[in-house]
Amino acid sequence: MSILITRNGLLDTIQDGGRYGYQHLGINPGGVMDKAAMQIANALVGNDPKEAVIEMHFPAAEMVFEKTTLIALCGANFSATINGEEIALMQPLLIREGSVLMFGKKQRGARIYLAVQGGFIADEWLQSKSTHLKVKAGGFAGKPLLKKHRIFLQRAPLLSILHPDHSFEILPWKAKVSDLYGSTRLRFIAGEEYQLLDDISKQKLIDLSFTIGRDSDRMGYRLQADPLQLSSHKEMISTAVALGTIQLLPDGQLIVLMADHQTTGGYPRVGHIISADIPTLAQLSAGETFSLEIIDINKAETILYEQEMNLQQLQNACNFRLQEYLK
C-alpha cells in the first residue's frame, strides 16, 4: 500500500504536530506550519489529530495512489484533480487504485495538507515523524519528497464503496473552517521587550500593514514596513523564543518566527502572534500583507480554547459519520 511521487513539488515533506520537549537541547519543535489544517484533514479520515500528513507548497507534487485510499485535502486551494477531474477540499474522498493526484493552479493559501486514513509509515525521531531537513531526520529519511519516492501507508482503507466506473467517491460531510481562520488582522500579545519600543513605534505596530518578504520560509517570515525603533538600546543575551515570536531586527524591520524557528534569539521580542492566529498566518504567501492587533493573554487563551473546542467537535462528528459507514 503506497503512494508514488511522479513529479517533484516545490517543497513537500512529511510533517506531524511537532517534537516537543527538546528545546533545551537546541532542537526546535518543527512540525506543520498550519496545525488547524493538519487536524481538520486527520479528522475527516478518522485519524489522531496529530497524525503525520504531507505538507505541500505550490507547485505541489504529482502522485499516483497504488492502492485504493481514503484521503482528505485541507488548507490552501491548489486546484486539485484526480485523473483530470476536480476534487473537493475539506471533504473525505475514497481514491481508486491507479488514480493520479495533480495540482493545477494556486487559487488561495500557501500550503495544502494531504492526510490518508491510518497515516503514513515514516521515520520517527525524538517521538515525532516530522521532517527535520537540517539534521536529515524524521519523515522520509529527513528529506523532501522527490520523484520516484514511494510513501507507504499504515493500512488499507476501512471503506469499500467505490462505484466501478468512478475514480473517486466524495463522502457526504465537509469541515466548516470559517471559525478556524480569521481575517488578516492578526492578534498578538506584548513580548518581554515591547516596552522598549518608543511611543511612535508602538502606534506603528498596530497601524501599519506588514508585507511578507520574498526571503521568508518555514523558519521565519521577514516583514517589510516602515522601520520601528527602540526608545533606548539595551544589550541582550540570547533568550528563548517560540512559534509566533515577533522579533525586532537591527534594521528596524520585524520577523515572525514560524515552525522551523531557532530555539533562542538575541533580538528584542516585541510580541507573540497568538496560537489561534498562526494557521491564518501560515496560509499567507510572500507579497501578501496583514496588520496587527494587540490583546491580553486572557483573551488569547479564550480564543485558543474556543478554537480547540471547534476542532474537537469536528473530530467527534467525523468519527460518528465514519462509524455510520463502517456499519
Least confident of 43-47, 182-186, 283-287, 304-308: 182-186
Ordered domains of the chain (ranges, CATH): 2-177 (no CATH), 185-295 (2.40.100.10)
Chain segment 222-235, per-residue pLDDT in tens: 999 999 999 977 77
**Distance in angstroms (rounded) separating the CA atoms of residues 264 and 65:** 41
Q: Are 45 and 321 in contact (CB under 8 A)?
A: no
Give the model's pLDDT for residue 321: 87
pLDDT band at 163 (very low <50, low <70, confident <90, very high): low
Give the model's pLDDT for residue 234: 72
Angle between helices 35-44 and 297-326 in degrees, nearest 10:
20
Residue 231 Ramachandran class (φ > 0 left, ψ -120 to 50 alpha, else beta): alpha
CA 189 to chain centre: 21
Please determine, for residue 252, whether its predicted confidence score (pLDDT) is greater than 70: yes
pLDDT band at 327 (very low <50, low <70, confident <90, very high): low
Q: Are 111 and 34 in contact (CB under 8 A)?
A: yes
| H or E element that contains 269 | strand 269-273
CA angle 62, 63, 68 (to 5 degrees): 150
Give the model's pLDDT for residue 182: 80
Give the model's pLDDT for residue 88: 87
CA distances 131 to 34, 126, 194, 239, Å, are 15, 11, 33, 25
For the segment 100-107, the average pLDDT, to the nearest whole number, is 95
Give the model's pLDDT for residue 179: 80
**Distance in angstroms (rounded) separating the CA atoms of residues 290 and 246:** 14
- How many beta carbons lie within 10 A of that of residue 231, not counting itself? 13
In our burial notation (b when 16+ CB lie closer than 10 A, e otherwise), range 99-119 reads bbbbbeebeebbbbbbbbbbb
Of the chain, the percentage scoring pLDDT greater than 90 comes to: 80
For the segment 145-173, the average pLDDT, to the nearest whole number, is 82
For the segment 84-96, the average pLDDT, to the nearest whole number, is 92
Give the model's pLDDT for residue 103: 97
**Distance in angstroms (rounded) separating the CA atoms of residues 148 and 6:** 6
CA angle 20, 176, 211 (to 5 degrees): 65
pLDDT band at 172 (very low <50, low <70, confident <90, very high): confident
**Distance in angstroms (rounded) separating the CA atoms of residues 71 and 91:** 8
Chain segment 176-211, per-residue pLDDT in tens: 888 888 888 999 999 999 999 999 999 999 999 999
CA-based Rg of the chain, rounded to a whole angstrom?
Answer: 21
Q: What does the H/E/C string look like for 138-207?
A: CEECCECCCCCCEEEECCCCCCCCCCCCCCEEECCCCCCCCCCCCCCEEEEEECCCHHHECHHHHHHHHH
The H helix count followed by the E strand count for the chain is 4, 21
- How many beta carbons lie within 10 A of that of residue 161, not counting itself? 11
- Report CA torsion sign: 38, 39, 43, 46: positive
For the segment 304-322, the average pLDDT, to the nearest whole number, is 93
**Distance in angstroms (rounded) separating the CA atoms of residues 53 and 120:** 7
**Distance in angstroms (rounded) separating the CA atoms of residues 260 and 135:** 12
**Distance in angstroms (rounded) separating the CA atoms of residues 87 and 85:** 6
Look up the pTM and report it: 0.94
